[in-house]
Amino acid sequence: MKLLDQFSYSELKPVLSTEGMRALDKAAKEALAGGASAIEAGYGLMKQAGAALFEKVVETLDNFGIGKTPRSVAVFVGGGNNGGDGLVLAKLLIEAGIPCTTYSLAAANKFQNEAKMALDDFALAGGRLILYSPTAESLSQAGTAPRTPRFADFDLIVDCMLGNGAHGELRELYAAAVRDIAASNIPVVAADAPTGYDSQEHVRREPCTRACETLLFGFPRLDAYTREGGPTFGEASVASLGYPAGTVAQFNENTFLATESLIPQILPERDDWGDKRAQGCAMIVAGSGDMPGAAALCTQAALRSGAGLVTLASPDAIMPVLQAKLSEPVFCNLQDMSGQDGDTVDDRATALSPAHIPQILEKASHNQALAIGPGIGSAECTRDAVIEILPQVKCPTVIDADALNAIATLNKTSASPASGAASFLHSIASAAVLTPHRREFERLFGALPTNDIDIPNLLRGIARHTKKAILLKGAPTFVASPDGRVFIVPAHNSGLAKGGSGDVLTGIITALLAQGLPTCEAAVLGALLHQKAGHTAREKLGAFSMLPSDVIDALPQAFGR
């Protein structure tokens, strides 16, 4: 098991803002130059970027070309450094014998510094720069004659026109090129950012290239994974460049990209000589008369996620349903014991209530982790029970679903909106992971930003104030740690957008906490396992038909068997 703060920048990549990436690029060139020409150092980085882009293009051709030969590529370049990356790519394609046509939206005399060096090397390799014109109808034999591309000739288009840092509306020539590319229906790979995406305002302008894949140079940018940018960037991947580690540290914004490659490294180690208690004991407080299935899903997920012993605490009246469905957990029948003092005994109650608290706390004292919330409902007695239980729990806790909604009701009696819930969470001494979806989050803490780009800093502040890890479910998923780190789990799977998926995630995280993972690691790893199992279920059954129970069935593959 490896904690997240033990990873190097090459293993766990920091996510940089547009401004941060440009500042890093400038500082890296100066550091690499060592007093010599920063342009030469910059061209070295450009050649690395172009080489990585070449590998991505070949990979994409293999995926889309399906053995077709010869395969043909159109590279669209602008006059800046993004265009220089494209010229390095075009040179490598020529040298590899892959037919390549290079269209420029800038005259040759507009290329400067590193981009000019790339143009010179491109020409030495036999490359010919063709000025792009959306209106020309014939091809001149001159080396830089305008030409309207015949898209039927190409298997792939590479967008190297503007890249990261573009701002504002496109000039008409660029807009025309983007419209022509869009009309072609040919797959597009974008270099650093699709043309038309405003990386400073973090919005998609129209027209805008819609890439099937985007290769990000150096480090991830949040734009590629947000709801605003994700559909435009397509599948984003990152090409590592030779940035000095010390320079990178100066621009670390404490936000990181968490991908499935981390799973085997964060997984807790199994003790083959240990008994079931050595593998972790987890307790699930879940279910009500209307939602017994939430308890079953959460419990099954915890059982599939490595916990040695799982206890399910649910109201007595729904236990027959759960016991008929589940055979592996220990059952804690929550009974109303108020009759001991002469009150009417109602052992058939279907909701969590304050009368159940002694049972829950006694059982929780024998467990290494607790989950509370899935399917417990919104009855007033349930809300009261949640508020009373949480400050008394000693073990790490996952607070989910209706437990979050119960805490949110404290805002109604607080002096200012959202302060009641935040203050209550701050007062809880035990470690905890909150797992809200967006609506639950807003009930707790107020409105989310309209643009996902602003979510990390908001979550960072709330996690620090409440001293709790926060996992904001969605596409993408964000995990904020109380120490200020934020992790982005890039995911978009409509098959997971179904009732019960969150219950499965809660079960996974609870089992990981029981096995000794800290809250942030458990939340990040839980989200990654949930995502990976969801992809497996989707591949097998499709997004329309897959169910949360299918995600549980796919967990063995997600864990690597």
Residue 4 lies in a domain: no
Claim to verify: residue 247 and residue 270 sit in the same structural domain:
no
Q: Residue for token digits 């590899």?
A: 96
Tell the residue number behind the tokens 């059952």, with chain if given: 331
Does residue 365 form part of some domain? yes
Query: In which element (H, E) is residue 521 found?
Result: helix 519-541
d(CA 298, CA 50): 47
pLDDT value at position 33? 86
Rg (CA), the chain: 28
Q: Quick check: 222 pLDDT over 50?
A: yes
Name the nearest CA neighbour of 470 among 496, 503, 445, 507: 445
Q: Which of 461, 459, 470 is nearest to 523 (CA)?
A: 470
**Which residues make Cβ contacts (< 8 Å) with residue 23, sequence separation at least 6?**
251
Q: 3-class secondary structure for 149-172?
A: CCHHHCCEEEEECCCCCCCCCCCH
Q: Lowest-confidence range among 217-231, 236-250, 462-476, 541-555?
A: 236-250
- Indicate whether 555 belongs to any domain: yes
Q: Are 100 and 204 within one domain?
A: yes
pLDDT value at position 275?
A: 94
Q: Do 460 and 344 share a domain, yes or no?
A: yes
SS3 77: strand
Total Cβ atoms within 10 A of residue 314: 29
Domain that holds residue 526: 262-559
pLDDT of 134: 80
* Spatial distance between the Cα atoms of 489 and 478, rounded to a whole number of angstroms: 6
Secondary structure element (H or E) that encloses residue 120, with its range: helix 113-124
Q: What confidence score (pLDDT) does residue 548 get?
A: 99
Same domain for 214 and 280? no
Q: Are 248 and 270 found together in one domain?
A: no
Mean pLDDT of 136-140: 35
Cα 413 to Cα 390: distance, rounded to the nearest angstrom: 19
CATH code, 391 = 3.40.1190.20
CA distance 438 to 452: 11
Q: Is residue 96 part of a domain?
A: yes
Composition of the chain by helix, strand, coil, percent to 5:
45, 15, 40
Say if residue 268 is in the same domain as residue 245.
no
Beta bridge partners, 334, equal: 315
* pLDDT tens-digit map of 407-458: 999 998 766 666 799 999 999 999 999 999 999 999 999 999 999 999 999 9
H-run or E-run covering 411: none
Q: Please, which residues have CB within 8 angstroms of residue 379's CB and are 6 or more apart in sequence?
A: 288, 351, 352, 353
Distances (CA, A) of 76 to 110, 159, 190, 329, 475: 15, 5, 10, 59, 31
d(CA 408, CA 422): 9
| Tokens 């995280």 -> residue | 509
Question: 362 and 245, same structural domain?
Answer: no
pLDDT of residue 444: 97
